[in-house]
Structure 1
């Protein structure tokens, strides 16, 4: 049987349209069938009306409506240089044009006038490639003159993302008050609040007579809650501009009363009255999970510092600790990582240290800070408000101590506070609602202590209560959703303690009996790193685990692994500006 005949065959010539343009351009260059000339300066460019009408709404309106130009053989285009017009006509017939920094602006203006939208956006794209922190504010001005939304959006994005560099430019000093206010109140601004304040001060000093009165309006845009208290009360509060404004000085005093009050809550009436305090943190602030120190692969004390990149799911290396410290304590305060005390294992006699080392993601450099009053190791540290509390541990004589000292970040001072009622080693420690909770641990004879010790931060007083539920040793504790989570500690148990109801809630178990691990909270979830476990054969194994607990689902999930096995380390959450943190 013969196959049925094809009734219709639709042929599509892929080269027809491009060849047609090439032929029309050849006709134009030979001045064949051209019926209009576009004139600029002393130059006449012969064209075909139908090609111009097909390429632009501007020419369509000119030649297809009742305008005088419809019947004219020569059209004079004012304000367009002949070289620019010639390039545009070449583009119309070929689809090709060269854009350079020398011609982009007149080309863009002509494309706007003649309504060549794609060419206009191509020029915008070229200018976007030239954007830098030095010129982005000028580009915004230019985009407003040209009414180019795409260029304005990209330039504004760069100005916000690179505000640290832009804030030092002369162009920023020339901004109007509403323009500067728009930047300072932008949630996506990539800048620390200290820099926001310094920017507004520099802007006012550029024209003090005209701008001095704007200080209170501008200062309201600074989110005071995210400023280091030392900077706030010792630098900002003493600035002459701030002192010249009654409203600004009242704001500073209100924040001072709030920070020195016993309440850590910022949602009450007192906090609500301070708008710069309750303003949310900017989108550019990003929380990062950092792992530091500890015992690496059970070989030696580690100097490594790692940060976890959530987007790539990989670990990145930061600057190394200056020295090896065995069983130091680790805590974060004001987006700074503190490493406190420990045994200095890279010396012959391994002395007990009172040293304090600090690291910020912004600089990625370790610095020494005010040392503790007492050398100690195997101790616990916790931050609360502007303080760091260091509890117990072993002293220079290797004996268990109950002493507690407190670091005030505002005044850079250490002081001893009331000691713990019971000296314990390796308890779980957490601070919330004006109290520090010390759960369990073990005594000098290595017996588990089934007790909760509570320190009232405002009263400098301790209390204690027996609890049969508490039996953790070498377990971390974290605060999440107003509960204290105690994770493992020679057990698989995870329990959440409701401090107000004095009630424990059982959570999903760990997969192994884990101890000497570390934990932190990131984006409303609980993360656990490393540690040691006791396997089914009662053998102790080091771990490189990296796991996450979701309190809403009450489930644990694996997040991959650490680059090496690790225990007795620090796992903390540090905040940084997403565009400025220093990678090694």
Structure 2
């Protein structure tokens, strides 16, 4: 029988070889096929779990709370460095068949063993902390991070500070980073929580000095005051160190001098009062020379930049829309999406009002009312902040005017010229002091001009060109010395702009177009003009502002090659580093005689309508 079996096997093998030989005849060489069974590992784990449940081949029991869970050593060793060290080294447990695990409840241990054999586990608020502790102890890293991910999903401004504490106890970096990020982004809500008052001084200092903190400086001050009042006896001494973290340059002067300066905590600190007095002298003198005239090292505090969470946004307001009527629209440009969004509408239509930004607030000053039966020249001042997206009225101007110019410097707004109530050209100048909410008359311009380019730099206001009452271009630069309240003027043949905006970048005043394609930059330090790349068309009645180191020009009117005037919806950008123009798309509609300016807002705070 044995010989017959062998003969049969050889015959079958011969036949198989013949088949292989036949398949390979006259056929090209075939690559080796690498087969991977995707279900093998899951099936293997499933079979191992069934063996465990049936008690087959188990060789160790994990014990907790008088409960024994039978397992396979090789599975435990393969799943965790903790068990690999326990069973593969010369520890006592290597010889034991029962291992008592202290500090882990039987329910948690059972869940983890099920996870090892099935890859599945349920995490809830009731079990997550115990699971996290056990996963850390037993060195199940992915389970530990799964618990962290679960806690991250539960994060809110109310509990993020507590989560940071927990992450430090658990030594969980991923949870700590996520909770810290929420605390920074939602500081407005976090600062009102009881948990913030429980922070230590170094922890609070860490938040307040962080550039990425999403908070206005007024709120930074209110937070440190609330923290001190929580335990005044032990914390009052920290006021000066904390107050240095407040970036005074970016606080509204009214709030600084009427509220902060009169706070009892601030008044109790010599250093704090010296800092405020330094700011007061700086603003009143309209000069930067007094920065060093103080006992404290004030300069680093004064030049501290805005926090990274403060973003500049381009806002377009008013103007003639589609050459039909004066617009009440206000638009803001979202750089991330490169789309325009609508803000709250102006309360009334104002023809040729002026527009300026001061302390992250948009001011619309004067103008000719066009939505009444008889148009009137206005003294009204409207204000808007991105935080509230609501219009308010401020202290009105001393004189009604429209087609005038406005410019801000430090805590002042200067309003120059325009057409008065009698529709005649005026050279009068008035100044708004935001610290005292007051207007006052200043020295008038030497020559009244309409539609000049105006900019403020180095304690001076520069007025370039424009036209006189007979609509003749004026080739003149008029300079107002802010501290001395005096004007000077000089003729300059380079100046020939009318209805052109001006903008400042790097100590240079850029004058963009004005019935011409030309753009020139006036170097205020060298007292000379520099020629820049030309515009594509002859532009006028447009507007310009600086955003993130580039010059943005919006709308206006242009003259084509056939000397025909067209309204424009152009949105262009000039890069001074490359001296080039780039199209940024278009405005939502054609627009001219409008305002274009830059407003600062804090992340998470600006109200979209």
Confirm or deny a common fold (TM above 0.5). yes
Deviations 1:19-54 (A, max 9, x none): 100110111111111111111113211111100000
Deviation at 1:183, TM superposition (A): 0.5
What residue in structure 2 maps to residue 336 of structure 1?
Answer: 361
CA contact (8 A) 1:264 1:434 kept: no
CA distance in 2, matches of 1:527, 1:542: 18
1:98 to 112, 116, 122: 122
1:490 to 511, 515, 524: 515
CA contact (8 A) 1:284 1:577 kept: yes
What residue in structure 1 maps to residue 377 of structure 2?
Answer: 352
What residue in structure 2 maps to residue 43 of structure 1?
Answer: 67
Aligned positions of 1:148-227 closer than 5 A: 148-227=172-251
CA distance in 1, matches of 2:499, 2:303: 37
Structure 1 pair 128–79 and aligned structure 2 pair: CA distance change class (3 A): same
CA contact (8 A) 1:304 1:320 kept: yes
Aligned positions of 1:265-280 closer than 5 A: 273-280=298-305
What residue in structure 2 maps to residue 146 of structure 1?
Answer: 170
Q: Are 2:84 and 1:57 equivalent residues in the alignment?
A: no
Structure 1 pair 15–369 and aligned structure 2 pair: CA distance change class (3 A): same
Q: Are 2:469 and 1:444 equivalent residues in the alignment?
A: yes
CA distance in 2, matches of 1:331, 1:358: 10
Q: Secondary structure at the match of 1:353?
A: coil
Q: Secondary structure at the match of 1:352?
A: coil
Deviations 1:360-387 (A, max 9, x none): 1111111111110111100000001110
Deviation at 1:200, TM superposition (A): 0.3
What residue in structure 1 maps to residue 574 of structure 2?
Answer: 549
CA contact (8 A) 2:507 2:525 kept: no
Deviation at 1:65, TM superposition (A): 1.1
What residue in structure 1 maps to residue 137 of structure 2?
Answer: 113
2:160 to 128, 133, 136: 136
Q: Secondary structure at the match of 1:557?
A: strand
CA distance in 1, matches of 2:30, 2:509: 78
CA contact (8 A) 2:112 2:121 kept: yes
Unaligned runs of at least 5 residues, structure 1: none
Q: Are 2:501 and 1:476 equivalent residues in the alignment?
A: yes
CA distance in 2, matches of 1:309, 1:95: 45
CA distance in 1, matches of 2:575, 2:28: 65
CA contact (8 A) 2:287 2:483 kept: no
CA distance in 2, matches of 1:235, 1:289: 30
Deviation at 1:10, TM superposition (A): 2.3
Deviation at 1:79, TM superposition (A): 1.2
2:550 to 521, 525, 537: 525
Q: Are 2:75 and 1:75 equivalent residues in the alignment?
A: no
CA contact (8 A) 1:272 1:278 kept: no
Structure 1 pair 194–444 and aligned structure 2 pair: CA distance change class (3 A): same
Q: Secondary structure at the match of 1:290?
A: strand
Q: Are 2:535 and 1:507 equivalent residues in the alignment?
A: no
Deviation at 1:266, TM superposition (A): 9.4
Deviation at 1:263, TM superposition (A): 2.1
CA distance in 2, matches of 1:545, 1:8: 63
1:570 to 595, 598, 601: 595
- Work out which of the two has the higher radius of gyration on C-alpha atoms and give 1 or 2: 2
CA distance in 1, matches of 2:125, 2:220: 33
CA distance in 1, matches of 2:563, 2:31: 82
CA distance in 2, matches of 1:326, 1:454: 27
CA contact (8 A) 1:37 1:73 kept: yes
Unaligned runs of at least 5 residues, structure 2: 1-24
CA distance in 2, matches of 1:186, 1:93: 46
What residue in structure 1 maps to residue 605 of structure 2?
Answer: 580
What residue in structure 2 maps to residue 429 of structure 1?
Answer: 454
Deviation at 1:484, TM superposition (A): 0.7
Structure 1 pair 162–268 and aligned structure 2 pair: CA distance change class (3 A): same
Structure 1 pair 5–486 and aligned structure 2 pair: CA distance change class (3 A): closer
CA distance in 2, matches of 1:451, 1:405: 21
CA contact (8 A) 2:314 2:547 kept: yes
CA distance in 2, matches of 1:444, 1:235: 46
Deviation at 1:94, TM superposition (A): 0.9
Deviation at 1:285, TM superposition (A): 1.0
Q: Secondary structure at the match of 2:585?
A: strand
Q: TM-score, normalised by structure 2?
A: 0.94
CA contact (8 A) 2:275 2:298 kept: no
CA contact (8 A) 2:62 2:68 kept: yes
Q: Secondary structure at the match of 1:195?
A: helix
1:299 to 303, 311, 324: 324
Deviation at 1:563, TM superposition (A): 0.6
Q: Secondary structure at the match of 1:233?
A: helix
CA distance in 2, matches of 1:219, 1:267: 18
Deviates more, 1:491-500 or 1:276-285: 276-285
Deviation at 1:281, TM superposition (A): 1.9
What residue in structure 2 maps to residue 408 of structure 1?
Answer: 433
Q: Secondary structure at the match of 2:124?
A: coil
Deviation at 1:501, TM superposition (A): 2.5
Deviations 1:464-496 (A, max 9, x none): 111111111100001111011100001111011
2:286 to 262, 268, 279: 262
CA contact (8 A) 1:220 1:275 kept: no
CA distance in 2, matches of 1:80, 1:440: 82
Structure 1 pair 524–211 and aligned structure 2 pair: CA distance change class (3 A): same
Structure 1 pair 119–106 and aligned structure 2 pair: CA distance change class (3 A): same
CA distance in 2, matches of 1:543, 1:432: 30
What residue in structure 2 maps to residue 536 of structure 1?
Answer: 561
Q: Are 2:421 and 1:396 equivalent residues in the alignment?
A: yes
What residue in structure 2 maps to residue 89 of structure 1?
Answer: 113
Deviation at 1:9, TM superposition (A): 3.2
CA distance in 2, matches of 1:238, 1:133: 31
Aligned length: 584
Q: TM-score, normalised by structure 1?
A: 0.98
Q: Are 2:265 and 1:241 equivalent residues in the alignment?
A: yes
Q: Secondary structure at the match of 1:34?
A: coil
CA distance in 1, matches of 2:100, 2:325: 83
